[in-house]
Structure 1
Amino acid sequence: MKRTALLSAAMTVPLTVGVLCATGTASARDLTGPPHAVRDLYGTKTPYAPQERPSHYQKPPKGFSPVFTENVARHGSRAMSDGEDGEAVLALLRQAEQQGALTDLGGELGPQVQSLLDAASALGYGNLSARGAQEHRETALRMEQRLPSLFGRIAAEHEPIVVETSGVARTVASAEAFTRGLTAGDPALAGVIKAPVTDKNLLYFHKQPQNADYQAYLAGDPAAAAVLAGIDADPRTAEAAHRVVARLFHGDFVAALPAAAQVSFARSLHQLFAAAPDLSVEAPGVDLSRFLAPRDAQWFAYLDDAEEFYQKGPGFSGRTITYRMAGVLLDDLLAEARAKADGSSDKGAVLRFTHAEEIEPLAALMGLPRSTEPAEPGTPYTYRNNPWRGADVSPMGANIQWDLYANKPSDGKPASHLVRMLYNEKETAFKASCKPVTRGSHFYDLNELEQCLGHR
């Protein structure tokens, strides 16, 4: 949601908002994999970091070995979609400069913003960054290292590795980076990796005609519009924005700047702040952390998370409009696993590359941890009352991986098949209605998953 009209009048919606609380702060960015408190400053623009060490993973039950793997991954870190926020920030900085109203700190902001815009423009707005490519290469290498016997068999038996994307350039580039990671680990895999194919119904479903009801929800659902307007109108938004501009501009200039313009400027600045780590290679000298105090950055990240929550996440209790469309992707995960198990597929792996608009609904539909708790009508989503965080649910490069294990047929019985799920490379239980093979195990019978996930 763009907010770049710096001198526009404020629009308010009469709505009583419950107590909002953003908990925790951080003093600095950590571009190599920020801890939880720091990641709360960046929302869904948080660069990717694996969430568990393989040494902590459970061993499969005795007699079972991996026979297939599949994933769904968000594209990696990228340039911002356009230069609108940067141009808006620069416009107000130029106005202040002409009036001699920049503080010393404010005078340092313009060159930083311009450098970020130049880097994004040179890369191509919206395109995968070098950091994003590295995220996927390294994720692929870790996948291969976790499953050496599987990938050895894939190469030896020439089992196809199928690659699917939304067709958007950053997902295609992410797929290319991922497969380069696989071949860097084992060059023999190059001969079995298939050319990427585009499947928009599967990996860009939020924009397809069959989901016109969801698009109508985004365009003008009264309840969603009211709750988001009410969250934005919380007094802490204006207070945070005022603190931001007061550090950058002298008092008279700030006093003459309408509250709506202050909020618009501060939110645009936060968008740039959140985007900068994703371009750490292309714009290595850009550091916008000095221009936003951590508590203010976290407040604006919360506002962005609220939009994600109501537009792509679990949303309102009793309504499924924001995530039921992800059923097509869940069905595909189950179908590919079943096809491998019953012998109708010779694929060794299926790799899918998509967007936050698909990952967040899928996480909600599957009941993944911290991804599924909706908000009650009249009680807006906050960091205090709900665990949903964009940095956890769908950071750049977010991924859900299913590994299929089989044992050998014996005594005339067919092989059994188990599934282990990784969410951002952390062993993750399926929802509570799904029963693992033993208490506390992360391995589930495929038949059980087909029943408990409701898509048999």
Structure 2
Amino acid sequence: MPMPISARRAAPALALALSTLFAVSAPARSAPAHSADGVAERIRDGYGTKAPYAPQQDPWTYQRAPQGFVPVFTENVSRHGSRAATDSGDGDLILKLWDQARQDGQLTHLGQDFGPDVRALLAAMEKTGYGNLSGRGKRELQGTAVRMAHRLPGLFETIAKDGETVDVVSSGQGRAVDSGTVFTDALTQTDPELKPLIGPARVDKDLLYFHKSAGGAAYRDWLANDQRLARTLKDLSGQPATHGAARRVLARIFKPAFVRRVVDGEFSSLADDVAAAQAVYNLYGIAPAMSDESPTGRDRRMDRYIAPRDAAWFGYLSDVEDFYEKGPSFADSDITYKMADVLLDDFFKQVEAKRDGTGKLGAELRFTHAEEIIPLAALMRLPGSTEGAAPERPYTYDNSAWRGASVSPMAANIQWDVFRRGDTYLVRMLYNEKEIPFRQGCRPIARGSHFYDLAELERCFGRTTG
């Protein structure tokens, strides 16, 4: 059990151990392609938004608040942690082909292991519950909670002393609800005095499931009917490189004659070559989430069935879909992220209530999905989400910094820490636990500082009245 915050000052060794245990630095974007960091980055990018979570900054390197400022409030929005796949469709599809190939004697030596590995992964996900948090997902949320508590020890001591409340709200979807429970359980284990102050978890779909609520109606119509979107996705996914990658993936599992039969459409009622390879990639992508429950995730056994360059290609195609359907999308449109304004507005409302003395919260904790994190990142112009694609210049890794694995990995989070001195309130933003500046045009209190006056943020985001 984590040590209560009140004991932290007497146990710097524990704080150091926690920092060492949980802090993982992100590979530098400037790393040469041949470097170890560059290889690790490409592998992580290949998972897209299924990438497991890792905090992006060593907590010992956070800037200190200016002298005299103390933490008075914190709020976040977090994607749920790593989870099982939402259904067994990919496994069912590829196992039908695999069973046929085994019957026909058309499996490669490596391919003979593929069926049992897929069945082991499916069994683990079925036991966990399709779509439910995995053990790894729970640990991701626990780690984020513990690091929040140790980042702001004075805040949580004050919350406990003054009897302030901690509000917990989710989309209402099972994995988001469970993420909130795991997160708050970890907080109370860190400081048991918080337990009676954490209010009953509530559901707000308009706030945290807006892509499916009334506020997302125009977006859903665009998603279903926009011809430019459909044409762009078809053109980018239908490149010859996709078929080349698909055939290489299948060639690891099936003998050449069987791959030709798939390509020629003999099994079109099951899948073509791209759909079959996509299923393999999707299983590869979800396996790390199941590392606690299945040897296929723990031993990285699914990695054997897809070469890094082919995983990278299918990861890019996954990013193409998420970039255009949820992220910055086309440069001349805000349809994918305008609806996230309800969530950004709530961030401001909570801080303003603290400043104005109308709120009694010490912390606001929100739990949601990639469909909300990705648009919010685009709306706020967070790193990687600053630019849409020009219609004549489609999204590629060469012309855009947007990567699903960085923008919204499992358990992705955006956090605002609020500090006060007298009547002045400062806000610091963390993105996946890395200090980042607010969008261009917002002025920090000093050059290079990650602290912003609340009044300046209100001006910068157009919330100033009168």
* TM-score where L is the length of structure 2: 0.89
- Is 1:251 paired with 2:262? no
Asked if structure 2 preserves the Cα contact closer than 8 Å seen for 1:331 and 1:455, the reply is no
Q: 1: distance between equivalents of 2:147 and 2:208?
A: 23
1:195 is displaced (CA, Å) by 1.2
Asked if structure 2 preserves the Cα contact closer than 8 Å seen for 1:40 and 1:389, the reply is yes
- Is 1:70 paired with 2:72? no
Equivalent positions of 1:364-375 (< 5 A) are 364-375=378-389
1:455 is displaced (CA, Å) by 3.8
CA-to-aligned-CA distance 1:205-246 (integer Å, 9 cap, x gap): 000123211001111211111111001111110000111111
Partner of 1:134 in structure 2? 139
Partner of 1:337 in structure 2? 351
Partner of 2:403 in structure 1? 389
Look up the SS of the partner of 1:68 in the other structure: strand
Q: 2: distance between equivalents of 1:26 and 1:440?
A: 29
Q: 1: distance between equivalents of 2:236 and 2:436?
A: 32
Asked if structure 1 preserves the Cα contact closer than 8 Å seen for 2:76 and 2:416, the reply is yes
- Is 1:103 paired with 2:114? no
Q: 2: distance between equivalents of 1:295 and 1:164?
A: 40
1:352 is displaced (CA, Å) by 0.2
Partner of 2:98 in structure 1? 93
- Is 1:114 paired with 2:119? yes
Stretch of structure 1 that moved more, 240-249 or 416-425: 240-249
Percent identity of the aligned residues? 52
* Alignment root-mean-square deviation, CA: 1.6
Structure 2: runs of 5+ lacking an equivalent = 1-31, 265-270
Look up the SS of the partner of 1:350 in the other structure: strand
Partner of 1:242 in structure 2? 247
Asked if structure 1 preserves the Cα contact closer than 8 Å seen for 2:42 and 2:312, the reply is no
1:203 is displaced (CA, Å) by 0.2
Asked if structure 2 preserves the Cα contact closer than 8 Å seen for 1:25 and 1:295, the reply is no
CA-to-aligned-CA distance 1:38-84 (integer Å, 9 cap, x gap): 21121100111000011111111111111000000000000111100
The verdict on how the C-alpha distance between 1:265 and 1:182 changes in structure 2, with shifts beyond 3 A counting, is same
Partner of 1:292 in structure 2? 306
Which amino acid in the other structure matches residue 298 of structure 1? Answer: A
Equivalent positions of 1:338-417 (< 5 A) are 338-408=352-422, 415-417=423-425
Q: 2: distance between equivalents of 1:320 and 1:100?
A: 52
- Is 1:266 paired with 2:277? yes
CA-to-aligned-CA distance 1:249-290 (integer Å, 9 cap, x gap): 112111222267111111111001000000111113442000
Q: 2: distance between equivalents of 1:313 and 1:290?
A: 31
Asked if structure 2 preserves the Cα contact closer than 8 Å seen for 1:356 and 1:394, the reply is yes
Of 415, 425, 446, which aligns to 1:438?
A: 446
Asked if structure 1 preserves the Cα contact closer than 8 Å seen for 2:149 and 2:190, the reply is yes
Partner of 2:287 in structure 1? 276
Partner of 2:41 in structure 1? 36
Q: 2: distance between equivalents of 1:398 and 1:191?
A: 27
Partner of 1:317 in structure 2? 331
Of 171, 191, 196, which aligns to 2:196?
A: 191
The verdict on how the C-alpha distance between 1:443 and 1:449 changes in structure 2, with shifts beyond 3 A counting, is same
- Is 1:46 paired with 2:51? yes
Aligned residue pairs, count: 423
Of 173, 176, 182, which aligns to 2:187?
A: 182
Structure 1: runs of 5+ lacking an equivalent = 1-22, 29-33, 409-414
1:315 is displaced (CA, Å) by 0.1
- Is 1:304 paired with 2:318? yes
CA-to-aligned-CA distance 1:335-380 (integer Å, 9 cap, x gap): 0000001111110000000000000000000010112211000211
Of 124, 128, 140, which aligns to 1:123?
A: 128
CA-to-aligned-CA distance 1:298-324 (integer Å, 9 cap, x gap): 100000000000010000011000000
The verdict on how the C-alpha distance between 1:25 and 1:86 changes in structure 2, with shifts beyond 3 A counting, is farther
Q: 1: distance between equivalents of 2:33 and 2:228?
A: 29
Asked if structure 2 preserves the Cα contact closer than 8 Å seen for 1:76 and 1:174, the reply is yes
The verdict on how the C-alpha distance between 1:26 and 1:282 changes in structure 2, with shifts beyond 3 A counting, is farther
Runs of 4+ in 1 over 4 A off after TM superposition: 23-28
The verdict on how the C-alpha distance between 1:316 and 1:341 changes in structure 2, with shifts beyond 3 A counting, is same
- Is 1:231 paired with 2:245? no
Asked if structure 2 preserves the Cα contact closer than 8 Å seen for 1:25 and 1:38, the reply is no
